Amino acid sequence: MAAVVTPALTFLLRPLTLGLINYVPAGPTGIVFAILAQYHAMIPHIYKYRLALSTSAPNDNHFVGLTFSDKSYRYLLALQLALFQWPGSLLAAAVGWVVGHAWRNGVLPGSLTTWRVPGWMVGIRGPKRTEEFEGLRRRLEGENSAAATGMQTLGQEATGRRRTTRQQLFDQFRGAL
Amino acid sequence: MSFTNAPVTRSLVLGLVASSIAATLFDVKHYFYILVDLHILKYHQSWRALIYQLCYTNSSEVLFACMTLYHMKSVERMWGSRKYLVSFGLPRELDSSIYGNSPSSS
């Protein structure tokens, strides 16, 4: 999304700024900043520290200084990324940030934010069909033997578990494979 | 502290590094940035808008982008890979036919 908006915005801004913004640098800066916006909104900081700018004793009421957290380093990295080839990269970063927050706060139309990619693209693989049936069969057998009384269990051992030799061997070594 | 449970981040970082190195090796860096007046207005090379995000043109940008993406892996772990991939899948309008439309995340 940020990828589409950035060149378009550059296209629009160019006459306004008399050709100052004319160059869109390569690289997914907009995407990085769209994700960074999510990071900013979702992940809480682990610790905070304050950098005092005066030598007086620390006092909570009037404190002179800066407050950082462990996330500051990450924002600093991204800030450098935004400033490398400015103004183009700064514009891309700003667009990415705005789009990321728009995504998050529901400004974009709802159908966009419910899109998901199918599972095979990220390597999720569902259980195979035969394994599903195998699980069902095992559960059924378990229920049968649990409900059975003593006499029936004896008969069931002979008739209920009707598996081929190959299947038995396969079940035997299933855990090891 | 690794790429466990973050396959999209892993492939993104590796792809970014690989494509940037490849662009340098094959000397095609000049295809990956846009000068609006020259490329778009004069020569109408609108395909540049589709490929300019594939790689960075200098190594420090690659380094910083990869470090930032590496730290963003917790976002992928919270969202699940399928939702996370959409956030960069959106610009690729050409492939919009392959997106699933199921409401569940993860």
pLDDT at res. B43:
79
Longest CA span, chain B:
48
Model confidence, pTM? 0.65
pLDDT exceeds cutoff 80 at B13: yes
- Residue in B closest to A121 by C-alpha: B82
Q: How far apart are CA A103 and CA B42, in angstroms?
A: 34
pLDDT score at A12: 44
Q: Which of A177, A157, A168, A165 is nearest to A134 (CA)?
A: A168
What is the C-alpha to C-alpha distance for residues A34 and A172, in angstroms, rounded to an integer? 51
Question: Using one digit for the tens of pLDDT, what is the confidence trace for A112-169?
Answer: 666 666 666 666 666 666 777 777 788 888 777 666 555 555 544 555 556 677 777 7
Judge whether B55 and B19 are in contact, CB under 8 Å. yes
Q: At what angle do helices B59-71 and A72-83 cross, to 10 degrees?
A: 150
- Cα–Cα distances in angstroms (integers) from residue A69 to residues A43, A47, A61, B57, in the given order: 12, 6, 20, 31
According to the model, what pLDDT value does residue A22 have?
A: 67
Which residue, among B7, B20, B1, B2, has the nearest Cα to B64 in the 3D structure?
B20
**By the CB < 8 Å criterion, does B5 face chain A?**
no
Which residues, 6 or more positions from B51, have their beta carbon under 8 angstroms from its beta carbon? Answer: B31, B32
pLDDT of residue B104: 31
| Residue A43 banded pLDDT, cuts 50, 70, 90 | confident
Per-residue model confidence (pLDDT) at position A10: 47
**What are the helix (H) ranges across chain B?**
7-25, 48-51, 59-71, 73-79, 81-89
pLDDT of residue A26: 76
When scoring B8, B13, B40, B56 by the number of chain A Cβ atoms within 10 A, the one with the most, hence best to mutate, is: B56
Distance CA B75, CA B80 (A): 8
Q: What digits encode the pLDDT tens for the residues A44-89?
A: 888 888 777 777 666 666 666 778 888 888 888 888 888 887 777 7
Q: Which residue has the higher pLDDT, B62 or A160?
A: B62
Q: Is A124 left (phi over 0), alpha (psi -120 to 50) or beta?
A: beta
Please report the pLDDT score of residue A118 as a whole number: 67
Question: Are the Cβ atoms of A84 and B49 closer than 8 angstroms?
Answer: no
Q: Per residue in B17-48, pLDDT tens? A: 998 899 888 888 888 877 777 777 777 777 77
| Every domain of chain A and the residues it spans | 2-110, 129-172
Which residues in chain B (7-26) have CB-CB distances under 8 A to chain A? 7-8, 16
- B31: nearest Cα among A153, A112, B39, A5: B39
> Which percentage of chain B shows pLDDT scores above 90?
0
